[in-house]
Chains A and B, each alone.
Chain A
Amino acid sequence: MPFGRQASNKLLRISEIFYIILTVISFYLLITSRTGEARTVWQVLHPAFMPTLFVTTSLLLAILFSSETTTPKMLLIIVHSILIHSFFPIIFPAGDNSGQQMVLGQTRRVFDNTILHGLSGWPRPTLQIFVVEMFKGMNLQAAISTIFARMFSTDIFHVHLFLVPVLWGTFIPIASFLTTKALGGDEKTSVLSSLLVSAFPYTTYFGAISIPNSLGFIFFFYSLHFMLKYLSSNNSRTSYFMLGFAFFSFLSHYLTGIISFSLLLLALTFKSYKSEKAASPMTAKASLAITFLLSASLLPFSFIYLRFLNPAYSTVFTLDKFYGLPYEEIVGLFLIGNLVYVFDIKAIILIAVGSAFAFLYMTYLLHKSKKSPAGEFRIRLLFLFSAFLIVLIDYRIMNLFMDRLPLSEDRLWVFRDFVAVPFVALAIYGVVSSAKAIVKVHCPWKISIASLKAISKINVLRILALLSTLIVIIPLILGGWITFSLSAAYPHFAPLQTTWYELEAVKYIEENTEEKYVVICDVWTIYAGEMIVGVKNPRAYYFGEKDPRGYNLSARMRRDPSPQVMIEAMNQTGTDTTVAYFIVTEPRLGVEEFNSIVSKTLQNSLPVYATFGNGKLYIFRLEK
């Protein structure tokens, strides 16, 4: 091996070891940030974490631009990806206070064998409702989490919280790599795209919470990869995998499923367009246009049709949102969607910059590839451009023309970002390659100290400037972008997360009560309770987070804490419940209200059962 190559390899190994050390430090700093009482991760994140992450990411980017082989690069990216998606489960005692806690509550029922025939249970009022419930993504996630928890022989709690961050961190970079490669990118560009996927705030957020939709996104990205492969391959296995991943994204969540099927339809049409174009170009183009419209309308209409399967859904098309809105706001909504309401310019830039950049580059590539309209690359490009447009159109329809949607339309941004990532990587690599070419032009001989003397001063400066851009500035800029996009990914405003003492309180009740019991509490303690004993467990009953009876009983207890309300709660469980608990938490109520409720409860002869968090949480108990 030549000496130069040997030295370069040595430097690479040192960089990799240094990167691993920095990653270990980053994980350590994240673990030291762990707290039992916080609203957002930013409140408690170790001050050294973000600078360390910035250095780690920049170093990783420098390694990515090096001559290292693909496998080690991918492994390093996977570790990085898992790190930045694990903020919630590492920092908070029960992950983010959101849907994932409700999903854990449901999954707990499967893990504890307290329900038969899936989370929908049996019998259901109608067959349609059973079918809809059966295909709800929560069932698939419950199965995965339960299988993993049983394989590790551990409780479902941490398995559930880490499920999506680990799966996302592992498989999304790979999907991004493969998609970029299928689009025609070389190894280095594809590796870059697998890291850049972390620069998109929405993808980072959905990769950090364990909900069925996030699982669906993973399968969707793979179906997108196989769709791209399908466009230029006649292998039947590619079609099976394309269909298989689309089906799995549907099993995980209907949003990802419907978008997968929309794009599947589009891919099939693009494939037939290729073969039919020569024979009848007009028919081929017309079928493309019709399929594009059909694919774009599939998602909005599916929300409307859901009501025929389950009356609980009531989504409608409407123009109500335009009434009373000023003209500028309507234009703003059309152009940048809900970002019009985000006043933080930094957040707007971080959320929109990647996709805007990708859109511009896609347009440029489309213009450039006009010379070879029948080329494989152009077909794939057109397909992805259409997919990008479908997502944008669907977002506008859902945002402006629909009401009572069962989910937030912002989730569509993840699809947009998945399509955008390969183009951002291609564009960046295009810039890097151009810079390299300029260096070669200006410096056609081997750079050495001796040869530098022979070049004019201006040329030396020019070469050094370009080299520093390649080796230092580009990794720093991209590292900064990825690191700072985290500030838009993880929320800055949130309610108090589930505290350690709320978790301890519900565990204490569960461990020390032999009789059937019911708990009257606020919605936050309901989430904590569901995570430990499961949703609507007849032995350990917490009213569901959307159950009006639970709200009503909790409000009455706060107004006038009396044994009668607790007896009423015991009678509402539908089983022979003999013990009732009432939990009040100071940070949720405020000191004044909390003290008033505690003193009123004591006056009404309800004894204190236990206190947690140095008197921040009180449990009262009543036995029939």
Chain B
Amino acid sequence: MTSSFQFRKLEDLIARDPKLLFTLASYIAIVAIYLNLNVKLLAIGIVFFALYFSINGTFLARAFFEREDVFFRLMFGVLLLIMLLSFVGWLVMLIYNLDVPLFILTLFIVSTFSSLSNKRKKHKNAVW
């Protein structure tokens, strides 16, 4: 029960995104993923993949599936993130190519969209 409570607190913190801290962390993860493409270390890839997915998955989960139970909300967020990544990647690939710079652009577009969706939701729910 305690771990579930702590998880909810973490989720709340990410969703609040104070001073765009987590959006920034997501961008840093993208830069790290880019740099790792030269180093090619799977462990680093896994760490930043997890960071990118947990931040943006939470953003999307809170923006679109707030009424769901926490576990299903997060899973929906991750699924939606995969769908967004694949859709933007698909478009980019058809327009030109999914090479490294355009792949990084794809990550940025999806991350920005997730962050904006989360912010929009927060503004909607805000009590003035």
Chain A residues in the interface with B (C-beta under 8 A):
70-71, 74, 110, 113, 115-118, 134, 139-140, 142-144, 146-148, 150-154, 167, 170-171, 174, 177-178, 219, 222, 237, 244, 248, 251
Contacts and interface: CB of A to CB of B under 8 A. Distances in A.
Nearest to B76: A174
Interface stretch (B12-20, B84-92, B111-119): B84-92
Interface string B64-91: 1000011110010001001101110110
Residue among B69, B72, B86, B97 facing the most chain A CB atoms (10 A cut-off): B86
Nearest to B30: A151
B126 interface: no
B127 interface: no
A148 B75 CA distance: 17
Given A70-B71, A151-B49, A222 B79 contact: yes
Given A144-B86, A150-B103, A237-B64, A174 B75 contact: yes
Residue among B42, B49, B90 facing the most chain A CB atoms (10 A cut-off): B90
B69 A171 contact: no
Interface string B7-50: 00000000000000000000000000100110111101110110
Contacts of A134: 94
A562 B40 CA distance: 43
B37 A153 contact: yes
Nearest to B42: A154
B89 A147 contact: yes
A30 to B, nearest CB: 21
A8 to B, nearest CB: 16
Contact of A152 (B46, B70, B75, B107): B46
A171 B49 contact: no
Contacts of B71: 70-71, 74
Contacts of A244: 83
Contacts of B64: 237
Given A146-B103, A174-B75, A152 B45 contact: yes
Contacts of B93: 110, 117-118, 139, 142-143, 146
22 contacts: A70-B71, A71-B4, A110-B93, A110-B97, A117-B95, A118-B94, A140-B90, A144-B89, A147-B103, A147-B106, A150-B37, A150-B103, A152-B42, A152-B46, A153-B39, A153-B40, A153-B41, A154-B40, A167-B82, A171-B75, A171-B79, A219-B83
Interface of B: 4, 33, 36-37, 39-42, 44-46, 48-49, 52, 64, 69-72, 75, 79, 82-83, 85-87, 89-90, 92-100, 103, 106-107
The 10 A-B residue pairs whose C-beta atoms are closest, nearest first, are: A143-B89, A152-B45, A153-B45, A71-B71, A144-B86, A143-B90, A118-B94, A153-B36, A151-B49, A113-B99
A572 B52 CA distance: 46
Contacts of A116: 96-97
Given A70-B71, A152-B45, A147 B86 contact: yes
Given A118-B90, A153-B37, A177-B72, 18 more contacts: A71-B69, A110-B97, A113-B97, A113-B99, A143-B90, A143-B93, A143-B98, A144-B82, A144-B85, A144-B86, A147-B98, A150-B103, A151-B33, A151-B49, A153-B42, A153-B44, A154-B45, A170-B75
A153 B33 contact: yes
A241 to B, nearest CB: 8
Contacts of A154: 40, 42, 45
Nearest to B79: A171
Residue among A74, A152, A244, A248 facing the most chain B CB atoms (10 A cut-off): A152
A110 B82 contact: no
B85 A117 contact: no
B41 to A, nearest CB: 7
A592 B45 CA distance: 49
Contacts of B94: 117-118, 134, 139
A118 B72 CA distance: 33
Contacts of A147: 85-86, 89, 98, 103, 106-107
B86 A150 contact: no
Contacts of B95: 117
B48 A151 contact: yes
Contacts of A150: 33, 37, 100, 103
Contacts of B99: 113
Contacts of B89: 143-144, 146-147
A178 B72 contact: yes
Contacts of A117: 93-97
A117 B94 CA distance: 4
A178 B83 CA distance: 19
Contacts of B85: 144, 147
A158 to B, nearest CB: 10
Contacts of A110: 93, 97-98
Contacts of B82: 144, 167
B43 to A, nearest CB: 10
B45 A151 contact: yes
Contacts of A167: 82
A33 B66 CA distance: 44
Contacts of A153: 33, 36-37, 39-42, 44-45
Nearest to A251: B90
Contacts of A118: 90, 93-94
B32 to A, nearest CB: 10
Nearest to A148: B49
Nearest to A69: B4
Contacts of B79: 171, 222
A380 to B, nearest CB: 19
Contacts of B97: 110, 113, 115-117
Nearest to A219: B83
Contacts of A143: 86, 89-90, 92-93, 98
Contacts of B96: 116-117
A233 to B, nearest CB: 11
Contacts of A170: 75
A144 to B, nearest CB: 4
